[in-house]
Chain A
Amino acid sequence: MLKQCEGSHAVAEAVALCRPEVICAYPISPQTHIVEGIGEMVKSGELKDCEFINVESEFAAMSVAIGSSAAGARTYTATASQGLLYMVEAVYNASGLGLPIVMTVANRAIGAPINIWNDHSDSLSQRDCGWVQLFAETNQEALDLHIQAFKLAEEISLPVMVCMDGFILTHAYERVDMPTQEQVDAFLPPYEPRQVLDVNEPVSIGAMVGPEAFMEVRYLAHAKQMQALERIPQLAAEFKSVFGRESGGLIRSYRTEDAETIVIAMGSVLGTIKDTVDEMREAGHKIGVLGITSFRPFPLVEVAAALKHCKRFVVLEKSLAVGIGGIVATNVRMAVTGMGLKGYTVVAGLGGRAITMKSLTGLFEKAGRDELDPVNFLDLDWKVVNKQLEREREKRRTGPAAEAMLRDVGAVAARNY
């Protein structure tokens, strides 16, 4: 059914259609609307046989999820930003134990300085935690990925994060096609746990493992992600056969035929990039786009194949690996090792900084002329940065940097973002 609704509510409805049994959450923008929506459905009786637990922290949220999943319940939670960081110990534990929890990460920046807006720093900081990470481009895809996520998680017994851009997607009203309960039931079978706390068949879960088997247990986590690498495109195909639309998969190419430059990105910014590329194509530029949906497992082979015929690639990412450059770019570079391509990293949109078509056009034209630096910061105000650097050279006690730089930017300029 087509409807116009907020991204958060679309996800809430999709999760409810997956018949979750335990949902726990701690409020943190911008994920809050999702669990509020589900909480309302549980309270009103619309969503039956589901326990909604208001916990006291994100660490508890993930811990409750671990308990309920280990006891055989289909379990869901959502978080973002600092919340994800606060639950990290339990995040690793959930994947280590192989518990198929599904969690929305409404991507947001990490402080300090405190900032509530969108970038990918939160979930990308968890790239090695053992969870599958799928990135949604639109609200429709966010909705669809949740349905696929439960199936994927439960099949391979591994938790899945569905990452969607905070505010840009979660708070945007878009048209979505909401599936019916019958469609979801046809796609997603009831949860059949691989391991469960059962009084009729007692097991110990979470034993201490020493050097004699730790490597093997960890390798299994890697092997499971490799299984996911195979299953993700299959699931997308199965999804298409039931729901009639393309959603998910590992990667998605756009106008890459004969492209000399391919721009790589994740999430909602792909829309702006595609519009920019459309305009540049009309102007005769040979440029295309590669969207990465599955960041973990990372589709090395597929990315290499997609970049096979281009001359250069530009990884535009909403994250910063401080001290080296890009996180996504580092992964892409591993995929294209030995291919002799020119590669550029562009860090953009941190903390909700708008990524405009104008800036992108300038950036891609520069890339086409191979005039970019290896690592670039899109729309960085060098004046403000240099002024602060100079202050720090001149004076010992310069005070907090963020405050000083904000003062330089000034209230009027700040209003532009």
Chain B
Amino acid sequence: MSALQTVKFYQTGTFTVGNRLLAPEERSVQANMQRTNSLNSGHRACQGCGEALGARYAIDAAMNATNRQLIAANATGCLEVFSTPYPETSWQIPWIHSLFGNTAAVATGIAAAIKVKKQKGQGQDVCVVAQGGDGGTTDIGFGCLSGMFERNDDVLYICYDNGGYMNTGVQRSSATPSAARTATTMPLGPEPGNPFGQGKFVPAIAMAHEIPYVATATVADLRDLENKVTKAMSLRGARYIHILVPCPLGWGTASHDTIRMARLAKETGIFPVFEAEHGELKSALAIRRPLPVEEYLRPQKRFAHLFGKNPAVETIARIQAQADKNIRRYGLLSKEAA
């Protein structure tokens, strides 16, 4: 099965219409029949899954950038479970799943093997992508991830962050936002939902490792995501891309609202979208029209306890302060907005 199955292209709608207004080279890859379709259709992700969308675009962009010389290592989690229920697989690329917490290390091993084989004249120049959800990245896989960064191994690690352990029934991870309801942070007691903490924003921790490339992206801006993956694949060494992928199940949002939620996360400053090289911030996607965090929180059932008869004004203000801090720290306001 060396020939890749091409995209069966049925979609019509805003993106295709928008594409027609653009120059051909600027058109979204979604409209491209030649896209590699690395994560093939027929997988078992939920309707409106942000992770499936993010992974599809990220891996296709990586395939495109590496002339299809790509191997992927995958952490346990939604992406792994919905793409490879035995004996089916949606992956059209060489792909391995080992454990929940070791994906970065497995990718390191693959990269090492590729390097040796190439030295021996027995192999091609193949690139390695490791991917996992926020649980597999920011919690259980964090040790291996940090080790991979510190050694500057030749791996692009992509984290699909949906803010919790959605595969096991929506439990809290260290990427779960403050005040969010999960199965292990119920909206009860004096501090309902996930307690406020210092946060564990892994892109910033990745920057502290001074690795060649760190970027964040959302599924609201797929072109930006593709560009970042393409850029990452042009570099060697440890690279990290953290993609915000809304989860209709865990967030309590409509499946048709996935893109909207991702865009609201960016436009409110809740999720800063930026690029950094060797530990230094290089650019950020500007917020065109800054919105209050309430616009992002209100449609999500995981924040429903903040609203209703007695709105948790104080809590909402604290979340707003977090977003404001992001805006200041990453310089997110566009000139017109500022």
Query: Is A204 within 8 A of B71, CB to CB?
Result: no
B115 neighbours in A (Cβ, 8 Å): 51
Please report the total number of A residues contacting B with Cβ < 8 Å.
Answer: 46
Please report the total number of B residues contacting A with Cβ < 8 Å.
Answer: 50
Query: Is A67 within 8 A of B108, CB to CB?
Result: yes
Identify the interface centre among B85, B111, B112, B120: most chain A CB within 10 Å of its CB.
B112
Query: Is A22 within 8 A of B84, CB to CB?
Result: no
Q: How far is the CA of A9 from the CA of B203 in the complex (A)?
A: 42
Query: Is A197 within 8 A of B96, CB to CB?
Result: yes
A295 to chain B, nearest CB (A): 25
Identify the interface centre among A22, A197, A200: most chain B CB within 10 Å of its CB.
A197
Query: Is A67 within 8 A of B97, CB to CB?
Result: no
Query: Is B98 within 8 A of A93, CB to CB?
Result: yes
Residue B21 interfacial (CB < 8 Å)? no
Query: Is B85 within 8 A of A56, CB to CB?
Result: no
B96 neighbours in A (Cβ, 8 Å): 67, 70, 197, 204-206
Query: Is A67 within 8 A of B143, CB to CB?
Result: no
Hey, what's the 0/1 contact readout for B108-150 against A, CB within 8 Å counting as 1?
1111111111011000101000000000000000011011001
Query: Is B69 within 8 A of A199, CB to CB?
Result: yes
Hey, what's the 0/1 contact readout for A200-233 against B, CB within 8 Å counting as 1?
1111111111101100000000000000000000
Given A203-B94, A204-B84, A204-B89, also A71-B147 (CB < 8 A): no
A340 to chain B, nearest CB (A): 46
Query: Is A199 within 8 A of B98, CB to CB?
Result: no
B300 to chain A, nearest CB (A): 29
A68 to chain B, nearest CB (A): 4
A59 neighbours in B (Cβ, 8 Å): 101-102, 105, 143-144
Given A204-B91, A213-B86, also A65-B109 (CB < 8 A): yes
Residue A136 interfacial (CB < 8 Å)? no
Query: Is A56 within 8 A of B84, CB to CB?
Result: no
Q: How far is the CA of A175 from the CA of B89 in the complex (A)?
A: 53
* Complex: chain B residue closest to A23, CB-CB: B112
Query: Is A66 within 8 A of B86, CB to CB?
Result: no
Residue B256 interfacial (CB < 8 Å)? no
Query: Is A67 within 8 A of B120, CB to CB?
Result: no
Q: Identify A53's interface contact among B80, B97, B151, CB under 8 A.
A: B151
* Complex: chain B residue closest to A67, CB-CB: B109
Residue B304 interfacial (CB < 8 Å)? no
Q: Identify B108's interface contact among A53, A90, A206, CB under 8 A.
A: A53
A185 neighbours in B (Cβ, 8 Å): none
Residue A57 interfacial (CB < 8 Å)? yes
Query: Is B147 within 8 A of A57, CB to CB?
Result: yes
Q: Identify A202's interface contact among B80, B92, B107, B119, CB under 8 A.
A: B92
Query: Is B106 within 8 A of A66, CB to CB?
Result: yes
B92 neighbours in A (Cβ, 8 Å): 202
Q: Identify B112's interface contact among A51, A90, A201, A206, CB under 8 A.
A: A51
Query: Is B95 within 8 A of A67, CB to CB?
Result: no
A204 to chain B, nearest CB (A): 4
Given A70-B96, A89-B99, also A55-B106 (CB < 8 A): no
A213 neighbours in B (Cβ, 8 Å): 86-87
* Complex: chain A residue closest to B146, CB-CB: A56
Query: Is B147 within 8 A of A202, CB to CB?
Result: no
* Complex: chain B residue closest to A55, CB-CB: B147
Query: Is A199 within 8 A of B109, CB to CB?
Result: no
Query: Is B116 within 8 A of A73, CB to CB?
Result: yes
B109 neighbours in A (Cβ, 8 Å): 22, 24, 53, 63-71, 73, 75
B114 neighbours in A (Cβ, 8 Å): 71
* Complex: chain A residue closest to B4, CB-CB: A202
B201 to chain A, nearest CB (A): 21
A200 neighbours in B (Cβ, 8 Å): 2
Query: Is A205 within 8 A of B97, CB to CB?
Result: yes
* Complex: chain B residue closest to A22, CB-CB: B112
B116 neighbours in A (Cβ, 8 Å): 21-22, 49-51, 73
Residue B53 interfacial (CB < 8 Å)? no
B85 neighbours in A (Cβ, 8 Å): 207-208, 210
B1 neighbours in A (Cβ, 8 Å): 201-202
Query: Is A63 within 8 A of B102, CB to CB?
Result: yes
Query: Is A71 within 8 A of B150, CB to CB?
Result: no
Chain A 7-35 residues near chain B, CB threshold 8 A: 21-22, 24
Q: How far is the CA of A51 from the CA of B73 in the complex (A)?
A: 19
Residue A384 interfacial (CB < 8 Å)? no
Q: Identify B97's interface contact among A55, A64, A199, A206, CB under 8 A.
A: A206
Chain A 45-86 residues near chain B, CB threshold 8 A: 49-51, 53-57, 59-60, 62-73, 75
Q: How far is the CA of A111 from the CA of B80 in the complex (A)?
A: 35
Query: Is B110 within 8 A of A71, CB to CB?
Result: yes
Hey, what's the 0/1 contact readout for B31-47 against A, CB within 8 Å counting as 1?
00000000000000000
Q: How far is the CA of A197 from the CA of B71 in the complex (A)?
A: 7
A206 to chain B, nearest CB (A): 4
Residue A251 interfacial (CB < 8 Å)? no
Query: Is B84 within 8 A of A71, CB to CB?
Result: no
A203 neighbours in B (Cβ, 8 Å): 94-95
Q: How far is the CA of A209 from the CA of B97 in the complex (A)?
A: 12
Given A67-B112, A197-B71, A200-B2, 20 other A-B residues pairs in contact with their CB atoms under 8 A: A21-B113, A51-B113, A51-B116, A55-B147, A56-B146, A59-B143, A60-B144, A64-B112, A66-B102, A72-B113, A73-B113, A199-B124, A201-B1, A202-B2, A202-B91, A203-B95, A204-B89, A204-B95, A207-B97, A208-B85
- Can you pick out 17 interface pairs between chain A and chain B where the beta carbons lie within 8 Å of each other? A53-B151, A56-B144, A57-B144, A59-B144, A60-B143, A63-B98, A63-B105, A66-B102, A67-B110, A67-B111, A67-B112, A69-B109, A72-B113, A72-B117, A202-B93, A206-B98, A213-B86
Residues of B at the A interface (CB closer than 8 Å) are 1-2, 68-71, 73-74, 80-81, 84-89, 91-99, 101-102, 105-117, 119-120, 124, 126, 143-144, 146-147, 150-151
Residues of A at the B interface (CB closer than 8 Å) are 21-22, 24, 49-51, 53-57, 59-60, 62-73, 75, 89-90, 93, 97, 197-210, 212-213
Ranked 8 nearest A-B pairs via Cβ: A67-B109, A56-B147, A63-B105, A63-B102, A71-B113, A206-B97, A73-B113, A68-B109
